[in-house]
Structure 1
Amino acid sequence: MNAVVIAVIVMLLLSLLRVNVVFSLITGALVGGVVGGLGIEGTIGAFTEGVGGGANVALSYAMLGGFAVAISSTGLPNALVEFVLKYVGKKEDARAKKLSRALILFMILLMACFSQNLIPIHIAFIPLLIPPLLKVLDELQVDRRLVAMVLTFGLVTPYMLLPVGFGQIFHEIIATNITESGLPVEMSQIPKAMLFPAAGMLTGLLVAVFFSYRKPRTYNNPVRPVSVAKSEGYSKTGIIISLVAIVTALAAQLVTESMVFGALAGIVVLYASKAISWSEADRLLTDGMRMMAFIGFVMIAASGFAKVMSATGDVERLVEQAANMIGGNQVLGALLMLIVGLLVTMGIGSSFSTIPIIATIFVPLALELGFSPMATIVLVGTAGALGDAGSPASDSTLGPTSGLNVDGQHNHIWDTCVPTFLHYNIPVIIFGWIAALML
């Protein structure tokens, strides 16, 4: 059996059994490496080489966590909570509560979408926005699984559909790899093709909002999140400095293309303005780094996992095996290509990295099966994006968990990964499959 399939299954089963995700990734990589013929020493060597690739991402998230908690000490979270309560109110009647819930969720959705295209900061906004809102969300009895669904939709769908910000990068990767694999395509074709899987994402979100998680949910004995608990009051000066620090961090990130230096720039502003005292700074930054440490370790382990899978050569072999099974059947071919994309992305946690792996074989296969250029774009783009929602190693699921679990009441696997996997990947496969056969 293919080593990648075995490794992903082991990793997912252990995660579902509530084994820590980091240990699940390491164990899956070890099993997959041995099955793939690397042996114990070869697997450990490949894994050790791969973990370095996740170090920059881990450091980025640690710095962002430190920056988020430092910002919280200025009182900005309390001001945000008061602002939200002012506009959504605290009325007890059911209709007012529903309206308040809808307004807050819509605001979170807008922020998540903007983070991919309009202001490309990806998940950097989550530790700043979500922890302060938990108090309000809990008062309104909002199911945090629904918030995770909204965040993941906003983190994935815009880059799939819109050729701006991270979406431009994703679309360029699709166009470049399809063209290099023998089928010239234009960037302008990709948004039209990706409209179908994006419709699948929207379907999943609507199901979650109106059916799966519409009932109120109570969180017992809540522990106040660290980013809210550090400051009970706020001043106008503190708020202004916080906003200047956030803008500075964003500008530095866009200029340097580094979240590490973006967060550093924001922290420097807080230091220089004395918005945080020197005596408190070390404790605040340490608290913030601790808050985001889980994501960092998962990303490091995921990088090692991906390196082991690559070293076995079974990623390419998986694609080839699927191609051999298809024969000349278009219906089976489209479905298998999408499932292979799902498996690969679930394992490595990156849709951007999946496209180059699958395009080299998917494109010639699609041409052989008689798929049109638009259908081929749908297949490659959808197969690449599948799994980003639902993968324990994806920052599209890790980001929401980092904000929703700061008080220990939101499980990464069962409250983020499983809901997003079921609601998004299934309809995206269906919509992508139908679109490939119709176009």
Structure 2
Amino acid sequence: MLNAVLISVIVLVVLSLLKVNVIVSLIIAALTAGLLSGISLVETTNMLIDGMGGQAETALSYILLGAFAVTISYSGVTQLLLQNLIRFLKGKKKMIVLVIAGIACLSQNLVPVHIAFIPILIPPLLHLFNKLNVDRRGVATALTFGLKAPYIMLPFGFGFIFHTTIVESMNENGMEISIGETPLATIIPGLGMVVGLFVAVLISYRKDRTYPDSSEDMENVSQDASPDHFSLKHVITIIAIVLALTVQIATDSLVLGALTGIFIMFIGRVIRFHDGDTVVNQGIQMMGMIAFVMLISSGYASILTETGAIEELVAYTTDMIGNNHLMIAIILLLVGLVITMGIGTSFGTIPILAALYVPICAAAGFSPLATAALIGTAGAIGDAGSPVSDSTLGPTAGLNVDGNHHHIWDTCVPTFLHFNIPLFIFGVIAALVL
């Protein structure tokens, strides 16, 4: 089957594994999808550019968050907090990684800032990781776990959006389910991610891994003064963080939240006005890559949807599925893996997946809970490990500040293996037992 979605995703994955730059890989995959759909190269390029606007706000948010993270690092508050953290966790490599996973979990539900905490927390920790010979692949896995597992299992914060999307998409396609029921459906796949996390931390990446000393490289990202006392600029920084979070939640805008934080840091004289160019440049250096990837991935997703390639894949899948519940669950999750790997977002693929899954599951006799489990799992299964997902781009942005962490081999491949495999297995189990 020469399906544009399938072939273009294969192109994206193969090029990424060959260490071709992810932006170049994404553009080639997008052009491949358009050409296979019978669209000219010029039309495909125009469609790609037009579709990039769908992530313009997100891209701007990431740039501003990078600048805000730089201002916070200049204040020294992260170093002050890290002094206590280092004393408490000194020599406890596994505990450090698990604590990071816990902090990441808070970013989805309790304090819904998503990846915004990564450029603030992770770069100052890299020197400590190097001293303890921590394998950064384990840290990447812990971060991706915290960015995904909470919203899959719990309907709070970003989880509320995720679960509401499942409910609304299923209801629109003729299968009734409530927001109170969806956690019962997604808890089993979520437990698969818990298993994957502990396998990564306690088994796969428990051994020492050495990295080049990055202390000189880190001077451009974090001030190494290591403050030993709490001062007024730390108070102002904390106020800036709290107000930035408050504005973000109140306005539902990362852009306004980040601008608020940056503005307060300058007004409070934590950062001098003539250092503005330096702050912005370092923010772009830190988060510019992820911003551009999100822009291009939006254009790629636009090509996949507007050309009808996804509907073609759906129709083909429907024709080949029989009545065996095990085979139906396996095939549906494989289709979800392909679609989500290409688009790179759990939230954006849910409506697409529901349009396919609900009629098939209803005809085969799956319960609403089993159907919700399949939809939720399929939406998440390609997000972990996708080269264009913010769940992988975010960890790489923090861990590769010193140039010692590869996006594909150190983030995408580990998260794909440790989360997509257990998600697949536990998702099939959920579909069969619910």
TM-score band, normalised by shorter chain: over 0.9
Instruction: Classify the secondary structure of the residue corresponding to 1:378.
Output: helix
Structure 1 residue 231: deviation in Å? 4.5
Structure 2: distance between partners of 1:368 and 1:380:
16
Q: Does the Cα contact within 8 Å between 2:67 and 2:279 map onto a contact in 1?
A: yes
Q: Is the 8 A contact 1:115 1:155 kept in 2?
A: yes
Residue 61 of structure 1 corresponds to 62
Q: 1:321 aligns with which of 316, 321, 336?
A: 316
**Residue 199 (structure 1) aligns with:** 191
Determine if the alignment matches structure 1 residue 253 to structure 2 residue 248. yes
* Percent identical residues: 50
State the distance in 1 between where 2:221 and 2:5 align: 42
Which residue pairs with 2:425 in the alignment? 430
Structure 1 CA distance for aligned equivalents of residues 133 and 140 of structure 2: 15
- The equivalent residue for 2:377 is 382
Contact 1:7–1:28 under 8 Å retained in 2: yes
User: Is 2:222 the counterpart of 1:221?
Assistant: no
User: What is the identity, as a one-letter code, of the residue corresponding to 1:39?
Assistant: S
Aligned to 1:92: none
Matches of 2:24 and 2:363 in 1, distance apart?
42
* Equivalent residue letter for 2:422: P
2:176 to 184, 190, 195: 184
Aligned residue number for residue 338 of structure 1: 333
CA contact (8 A) 1:132 1:227 kept: no
Alignment of structure 1 residues 37-436 onto 2, 5 Å: 37-89=38-90, 97=91, 100-222=92-214, 223-226=216-219, 228-234=221-227, 236-436=231-431
CA displacement 1:326-353 (0-9 Å, x = unmatched): 1222221111100111111100111101
C-alpha distance in 1 between matches for 2:306 and 2:47? 7
Give the Å deviation of 1:361.
2.1
Question: Aligned equivalents of 1:285 and 1:231: distance in 2?
Answer: 19
RMSD: 1.3
Partner of residue 6, structure 2: 5
Paired with 1:231 and 1:216, the residues of 2 have a C-alpha distance of 25
Structure 1 spans left out of the alignment, 5+ residues = 90-96
Residue-by-residue CA offset, 1:129-155 (whole Å, 9 max, x unaligned):
011111112111110000000000000
1:44 is displaced (CA, Å) by 1.3
**Cα distance, 1:227 vs structure 2:** 6.0
Q: Secondary structure at the match of 2:20?
A: coil
Q: Which amino acid aligns with 1:6?
A: I
The SS at the match of 1:225 is helix
The alpha-carbon deviation at position 233 of structure 1 amounts to 4.5
Please say if residues 68 and 227 of structure 1, whose CA atoms lie closer than 8 Å, have aligned partners that are also in contact: no
Instruction: State the 1:230 CA deviation.
Output: 3.0
Deviation at 1:212, TM superposition (A): 0.7
Aligned to 1:93: none
- Tell me the SS of whatever aligns to 2:75: coil
Q: What SS is found at the alignment partner of 2:217?
A: coil
Aligned-partner Cα distance in 1 for 2:419–2:316 = 26
Amino acid at match of 1:312: T
Superposed displacement of residue 281, structure 1 = 2.4
Q: How many angstroms apart in 1 are the aligned matches of 2:345 and 2:219?
A: 30
| Aligned AA (2:246) | A
Read off the aligned partner of 2:317 and give its amino acid letter.
A
SS at match of 1:105: helix
In structure 2, give the amino acid aligned to 1:105. V
Q: 1:233 to 1:154 in 2, by over 3 A?
A: closer
Per-residue deviation, residues 350-407 of structure 1 (Å, max 9, x unmatched):
1101110111121010011111221111111111111111001110001100100000
Question: In 2, distance between residues paired with 1:158 and 1:175?
Answer: 17
Measured in 1, the distance between the counterparts of 2:96 and 2:408 equals 24
In the alignment, the residues of structure 2 paired with residue 103 and residue 243 of structure 1 have an alpha-carbon distance, to the nearest angstrom, of 26
